[in-house]
Structure formats: structure tokens, C-alpha cells
Amino acid sequence: MRSDLLRRTAGSSPPATRTLFLPSLLLVFHLISSTSGDTPTAYDELLEYDFPVGLLPKGVTGYELNKNTGEFKAFLRETCSFKIQGYDIKYKSTISGVIERGRLKNLKGINVKILVVWLNIVEVSRHGDQIDFSVGIMSAGFGIGNFLESPQCGCGFDCNDLVLGDSSY
């Protein structure tokens, strides 16, 4: 009797639960694979727009980017400051602006101290191997090699092997 039952089951069409199981399983695998590590970081996005990763300090916790308009926001845990090439630099916990290939404009949240005054860096542009920073009334250019690594909050590139949390960007 059992062999008849097995034969009928094996020869008949699959039950509805089995038919729904496979598509549901495929949907779950798709959702898992699309959310696991495939999302580019803010540093990856900089590279996509032809900028070096060192324009952002280590420790970016997240970002938003509208690929149609180029509007972006990058988030740090807290305000971040350090000194690079004699300049005091300060990043607020949220940096925003518009990104396009070779140009960051309408920047908010990045400041540089010139003499005794803090000024907003409003634009960054790349011209070949040169990165230009503009505060509106004046600009300064630096070689791209200065920005191949991300500086650390608190010490920039002069950390003298201090361990200040995650060293990956």
C-alpha cells in the first residue's frame, strides 16, 4: 500500500507549497546578496568621480548620494579636525554638496583656518594631477599624491603609529 502511495506522489504534480517554495527561496537569496557588501562606500564613490579617497578622513559612517543630481551627504561620528601641510582642517559631522566628475561644489561642512580666520571650503576640483581647493575668494592647489590616503581625525597623517580606532577607510 505504501508503495502505491509513493508512486502516486512521485508521478503526480508537485503540491502548491513546493511550487511556491522555490521562488520564495530565490527572492530571499536575491535580497541577501543585494544587501551584503555590494554597496559602495563613500570612498568608492569618490574614486568613481575621479577623486582620491583622502579628501575624506577615516571614519565615514555612511553617506547619501543622488546619482541623478549629484547631491550628497557624508556622515562622520563627530566633528573631525587635524592639521595637513600647515593648514588646520575641520570636518563637521555632516558634509554635503554636489559631486560631478572632477568637481565637488556647493560644499558645506569643511573648513580651513587661514591665519586666524576659519573659512568654508566651497569647491574642490581636479585638474590632471592637481587638486584645487576654493574658499570663494581664493584657492590653493596641491598634488594628488597628498590625498591618496585618508587622514585620521585628531592627527591627520602625523599620527606616529597611534592607534585611534579603525584604520580602514
Contact 51, 70 (CB under 8 A): no
Higher pLDDT, 14 or 151: 151
Task: Provide the greatest CA pair distance for the chain.
Answer: 95
What pLDDT does residue 40 have?
A: 93
How many helices, marked H, and strands, marked E, lie in the chain?
3, 9
Q: What is the arithmetic mean of pLDDT over 109-124? A: 95
Average pLDDT over residues 146-165: 80
Q: What whole-number distance in Å separates Cα of residue 29 and Cα of residue 34?
A: 8
pLDDT at 49 > cutoff 80: yes
State the pTM of this model: 0.71
Cβ atoms within 10 A of the Cβ of 96, count?
A: 17
